[in-house]
Structure 1
């Protein structure tokens, strides 16, 4: 068949320009099973039911009624127009309005011809999800499963309106865990109960930001000059017209004087903001709060790194409200705009900064109106008067951070060896330099696209480099430890911190050359041998509220438990796996997030979760964290971690675990599912999650007994023994072991299974494992014992078995 296809079919995809059509003859090969007629024998199988076709064809009698498609073609009942157009958030505003009207058969242009200009199908994004009535639709097709029930119902609700009481909604599921879950459980995406709406009025941090914004607005009013050309530059930033950060020392005394002379106006503003709020907000003294915040303004304004305009720098530091769209979006320009209105210009695409760092990174492609725009540089285009000004430097100041791939530790104050460029080993988990690297990054102001754009054929766009998000905070200063009455191993820190979103171009960094043309800015270099003016990663920081949960120390020698994710060796020299503990911390973070959402009566999307590698001496070197997804935070995480609420939240976590242990879920969920830890936003970590590991880590931190299942350990060992003849199972009083005999040494090695949190090292030995090792050695079963991590043996058995082979062959 491949010889017949030749270049007409590539990777089983037909190339239309290489294919010709020919009319059928007067013979048909009709399937004896389903009666489908074929105009040629093809591969000798029915194209519908795969039954072998008869060897001899039948004479075609030409009766149209015998062939449905021939009948439709002859009677012209199947021909209709299917003109399509794209409608997304990146479509020009005026063009978007025109396409919507054409789709509804409303022709407003003088040259519009209904027979040729009408649209029968719109290809849309989430811009059409809510608040849009596009007319009497009868069909909605979704190319993937929407993230949540809310999104699904909003999208299918576009159809069946007005005079279309009956409509069809078709969802095409992709081959990923999210889509597969709802494909198997369609009732969950269609009929899950709608949560009640909510309004949070008890977050002190939000009150303080809005209060400071209003006080500074009033305090700066007397400083505004009537003639902008002669007076100081107060900027036109959406966060406030408070001048440049460098000018704050000039304005500081005047602002403080106004505040000291106007306590009544400050209290009036505070009283208006405190109306209908909870007691913890009404108890705040507005004047004292502003005095306290002004000290923080001094500190933020004096920083050497940050936005030049004071109001935006304060917003990014969490002292003022963050208005996301105007300042956190980035443009990909196809050409230099000639007009300042409308802005963003029509010939551009915009994304949130965190997404743009990946989707607009040089080399990436972005679809727009059937074309793929390829990003090839970084620019800064700003409306100025009647024109658009291109800045020389489109980057913010350079920052150097060291990041660990193992424990997600971030150090913005890393010291790099000038000769080797190494930041050393990770101070949190001791990961070597290949996992712990220092990265210079700068925040881009905007991006430019190459002049040429290729047709978008529906295939995935190329070069979308992934970004990684890590947290960094000073636990002792900005996220202090919360006092808890309970005497267990769990420690809690809460406060503010930064999330670093960095695109390292797969570790290769981006190489730029300065552009002297009209665009200014920098062009990305494709040639690795070309000399670069700049070699950096692309990144940004997000300030938000955080909650950290960890252990008192890395090791609990009294119970023989280990909480860090550092590499080590067991007593007999077998590598001590850290992968199970790493999965446990990630699973705990997801568990905290899922328990926090109903406890706060918010959607899980309001919170982010992950692990945080810490080198602070106040806790174990790895912690699970929750962070508010909003810039600067909404106060959810700090509320959960406060002294007055942390114990109540931990009880909610216990109740959530009890629900997961209920018969139906525990029997049907082996590791994780959408009923426990998974959701659309954390698909990347689905293979890592295990709700039982999260439960066990919670129990260990709360001082409870670790749950060990010897039967499960025996099943894991039996699975290995069934596949390898050199393995023999043995039952001991302390648990099952497998005896592996190497062909190289002829000496048996005992392999037992341990829980990921159990430790069997020289400095911290678990009593159960020590007893098992003692029984193996005194019973003469083997001279060396290797304890395999149950998580690793279950998830990656080949890697564990290879380690056992290597260990057994060591003399």
Structure 2
């Protein structure tokens, strides 16, 4: 069976189910043995996995052993307490109980006799206490398994225990067997409950429990049995003393004969000491468990009844090179891969006849997208299609969850295309130029080294020859360009085909797209060459540097040109930056990680992690360019009105005539830097494996409207009008060139940047909570110690020009002068625009703007095309404002079910406006729009636009 899954799916969850099923199967086969340990069970599961073909291709025997030992150790650590094998009562772990235990003389051990414990009860007490340490990771590991592996995240840290916890001098994680005075822990809590069950008061139980708990780790039994016989591993650590761990090798794995369930918390236990539940602070009683139905029975059935069929899942996204993605698709068609986790790269034009199931992790933007994605399945009469769509708790998804027929069979609006996107038109022109060039000079078509002649073996580079050819202004090329360039006045003036002005955008010194791309790659190669020479002089291995150089030099020339913003690429982002992978492994060779700069300033920022081709890559430095510098602005945002002030400066300098006050408050200035040359990983950093919990997605950066650009020029399209609705006047201004700024301020702390090498890191919070420049020793991205130690505090930013529409709505009443009103109205209008235009909500951005500062009555709503270069949405909004406002009113009318004094993901909330969630109230937006528009009834029409036929 073949599955196509709309991003994101790693196969890890399926593997977990598969191996838990295998553990149950093999544990059943080993029931004739009385003593089964973790390592022995791992050997049996590996053998079973080989027989059933459950392992991923390419793993050797050691890797297979490591994978299964990791699976079993995670069960031993009880990482999923409710749905793990032990949590469901399918297996249990217990220390090996020797025969001599039953012969212990309790009176000679010095253990408090107030509880009247028998030998067997004392064993169960120790087992319960040790179980709490398993939950904390305080255990040893097999030689092949490392706790620091990302697989164990977020619990991937070494943990020890000792009698009392203390602050580690070296940053080690050391937990206390005893809690600190006046505090509690799971071990002390359980013994206290035993004493209280014997009738002791709460105070007496606490004193006696603490004394007994201490005796159990310091008395004769610990030294003469647990430590002596290797149940507890003792490790001397410098400046820490002797620290302890449970030895996993002394624990048995078995199928429990008797199970018990707590009548309060519902936890399942295989050991029972006087009916006391061992769950922290639970006062429940353990009862016999008869395998009753529960909300977790589904998982138990999966682990015990599923067929052992391997699920091989792979990523299929634009992060992969086209060659590797093509090979992966062929493997999918042959059945070697049976699940593809895809972005929209798989949406169009792919016909895999055997594909049977499609799972979408969110509701597609429009009906056309849904039909394309769901239509991937069942394209042959002999197969049955199954399509499942998961609706997230956000406005767009919940809208169509309530009316699924509107996305499945709704009307498809005729698409409209914005032809005046200058950057995209230029890149298409460049694609014609290079097609023309490569037909004439086929020897330059191949890899980057052939094209740029970096190694100096081919004479002139393609750049030099192209300059010479274009200086002759060939007529055949000009005719080809005239055929494809739209005829609008603004575009014709921009490219100026008659005078060949467009050539400057490609080949002008220091500024042309191809010149910058050539400079960037040559600079990287030169830096690597310098590092290689240094390593050779120091007689250190330099083979890895040569391999990294070859990664750049052997890159396909078309891939290089598209990733360098010279040629168009899928999705047509116009301000693309790369995360350069300075690693020579096979995983690095088949990926090409890039983002639009608006996303890159958050997703590639320090502290973030990018998962590509089943590996985790971490940004380390900003790329630099010897010929150019990062654009830097000194900026401030008024805390009262939100107005932006920005000035172009050099990093570390101030603009003398900058505004110092706004709204009668001083302005606090920072620097924002535009990382236009991209980002890099560190050459000696090895990529990690994704954990079960992905690192939290970076918070979205906030967008601010700056000003209108080039309004006086003929090529700028601009309109301004007053629209009357009832007795109310609405001022509407549209411009094709509005400038917006998006800034990532690092959670308010900023980032620390080395101006010399590009090293960048998160700014640590100091005691004064102020982020300031500081001196830090560090290495550059190639692993060489940087001579500079002074780091500048910066924010990451990006300014861009796109279509905007400014809407100034009348305030009408002082009632609407409250903090929640304008943000609530802004996002309701954005939702209305998305519905009216029939486009994805993500394609429309918005912010608030006050041109003259403090006067709240002059607040404007700015809506803009959140599509690279503009797609004409803002212009459509200005032409259909009545419909936008009507749909906005319907959106906040209450079909989502939340209260008027709040909001939810079904109306106004979304990932990008998290900073407003607490003050977004749908009720005040609905009241305002009702008062503005009157009581005329409108309703959704087939999921897009509005009609006067009444509310559905």
TM-score for the superposition, normalised by structure 2 = 0.48
Alpha-carbon deviations, 1:165-202, whole Å to 9, x = none?
A: 264848496xxx429x9689845457645454445568
Alpha-carbon deviations, 1:718-753, whole Å to 9, x = none?
A: xxxxxxxxxxxxxxxxxxxxxxxxxxxxxxxxxxxx
Q: Residues 321 and 268 from structure 1, CA distance in 2 versus in 1: closer, same or farther, beyond 3 angstroms?
A: same
Structure-1 residue corresponding to 2:205: none
Structure-2 residue corresponding to 1:447: 680
1:541 aligns with 2:541: no
Alpha-carbon deviations, 1:485-536, whole Å to 9, x = none?
A: 7584645353412232333333444334477xxxxx5333579532546634
The alpha carbon displacement at 1:370 in A equals 3.7
Structure-2 residue corresponding to 1:376: 620
1:367 aligns with 2:608: no
Alpha-carbon deviations, 1:538-575, whole Å to 9, x = none?
A: 333322111112369xxx8xx88599xxxxxxxxxxxx
Q: Residues 448 and 405 from structure 1, CA distance in 2 versus in 1: closer, same or farther, beyond 3 angstroms?
A: farther
SS, match of residue 611 in structure 1: strand
Q: Write the distance in 1 (CA, Å) between the matches of 2:881 and 2:934.
A: 14
Structure-1 residue corresponding to 2:704: 470
Q: Write the distance in 1 (CA, Å) between the matches of 2:885 and 2:299.
A: 62
Q: Write the distance in 1 (CA, Å) between the matches of 2:603 and 2:919.
A: 25
Q: Residues 481 and 158 from structure 1, CA distance in 2 versus in 1: closer, same or farther, beyond 3 angstroms?
A: closer
Question: Residues 416-565 of structure 1: matches in 2 within 5 Å?
Answer: 429=663, 432-434=666-668, 437-449=670-682, 451-461=685-695, 464=698, 466-474=700-708, 482-484=720-722, 486=724, 488=729, 490=731, 492-513=733-754, 522-524=758-760, 528-530=774-776, 531-532=788-789, 535=792, 536-550=794-808, 561=814
SS, match of residue 625 in structure 1: strand
Q: Is the 8 A contact 2:719 2:735 kept in 1?
A: yes
* Aligned pair partner of 1:587 in 824, 836, 843: 824
Q: Is the 8 A contact 1:88 1:127 kept in 2?
A: yes
Q: Is the 8 A contact 1:29 1:53 kept in 2?
A: no
Q: Residues 587 and 368 from structure 1, CA distance in 2 versus in 1: closer, same or farther, beyond 3 angstroms?
A: same
Q: Is the 8 A contact 2:634 2:654 kept in 1?
A: no
Alpha-carbon deviations, 1:90-122, whole Å to 9, x = none?
A: 345555455555555556xxxxxxxxxxx5555
1:331 aligns with 2:578: yes
Q: Write the distance in 2 (CA, Å) between the matches of 1:71 and 1:295.
A: 71
Q: Is the 8 A contact 2:739 2:800 kept in 1?
A: yes
Q: Residues 183 and 15 from structure 1, CA distance in 2 versus in 1: closer, same or farther, beyond 3 angstroms?
A: farther
Q: Write the distance in 2 (CA, Å) between the matches of 1:136 and 1:21.
A: 46
Q: Residues 185 and 3 from structure 1, CA distance in 2 versus in 1: closer, same or farther, beyond 3 angstroms?
A: farther
Question: Residues 134-213 of structure 1: matches in 2 within 5 Å?
Answer: 136=354, 145-146=362-363, 148=365, 162=380, 163-165=382-384, 167=386, 169=388, 171=390, 177-178=393-394, 186-188=401-403, 192=407, 194-199=409-414, 205=420
Q: Write the distance in 2 (CA, Å) between the matches of 1:609 and 1:665.
A: 22
1:606 aligns with 2:843: yes
Q: Residues 419 and 584 from structure 1, CA distance in 2 versus in 1: closer, same or farther, beyond 3 angstroms?
A: same
1:652 aligns with 2:886: no
* Aligned pair partner of 2:254 in 23, 26, 39: 23
Structure-1 residue corresponding to 2:310: 82
Q: Residues 485 and 168 from structure 1, CA distance in 2 versus in 1: closer, same or farther, beyond 3 angstroms?
A: closer
SS, match of residue 708 in structure 2: coil
Structure-2 residue corresponding to 1:277: none
Q: Write the distance in 1 (CA, Å) between the matches of 2:155 and 2:493.
A: 72
SS, match of residue 506 in structure 1: helix
The alpha carbon displacement at 1:625 in A equals 0.8
Q: Write the distance in 2 (CA, Å) between the matches of 1:417 and 1:77.
A: 63
Q: Is the 8 A contact 1:422 1:437 kept in 2?
A: no
Q: Is the 8 A contact 1:88 1:125 kept in 2?
A: yes
How many residues get paired? 599
Q: Residues 561 and 100 from structure 1, CA distance in 2 versus in 1: closer, same or farther, beyond 3 angstroms?
A: same
The alpha carbon displacement at 1:404 in A equals 1.5
Structure-1 residue corresponding to 2:598: 354
RMSD (CA atoms): 6.6
Q: Write the distance in 2 (CA, Å) between the matches of 1:130 and 1:616.
A: 48
Q: Write the distance in 2 (CA, Å) between the matches of 1:474 and 1:184.
A: 35
Q: Write the distance in 2 (CA, Å) between the matches of 1:5 and 1:95.
A: 47
Q: Residues 335 and 631 from structure 1, CA distance in 2 versus in 1: closer, same or farther, beyond 3 angstroms?
A: same
Q: Write the distance in 1 (CA, Å) between the matches of 2:256 and 2:855.
A: 84
Q: Write the distance in 2 (CA, Å) between the matches of 1:509 and 1:433.
A: 17
Q: Is the 8 A contact 1:443 1:539 kept in 2?
A: no
Q: Is the 8 A contact 1:426 1:433 kept in 2?
A: yes
The alpha carbon displacement at 1:657 in A equals 5.2
Instruction: Flag structure 2 segments of 5+ consecutive residues without an equivalent.
Output: 1-124, 138-152, 158-245, 292-296, 445-450, 453-462, 518-561, 765-773, 777-787, 936-952
Q: Write the distance in 2 (CA, Å) between the matches of 1:69 and 1:658.
A: 44
User: Which one scores higher on RCO, CA 8 angstroms, separation ≥ 6?
Assistant: 2
Instruction: Flag structure 1 segments of 5+ consecutive residues without an equivalent.
Output: 61-66, 108-118, 230-235, 238-242, 275-280, 381-390, 516-520, 564-577, 706-811
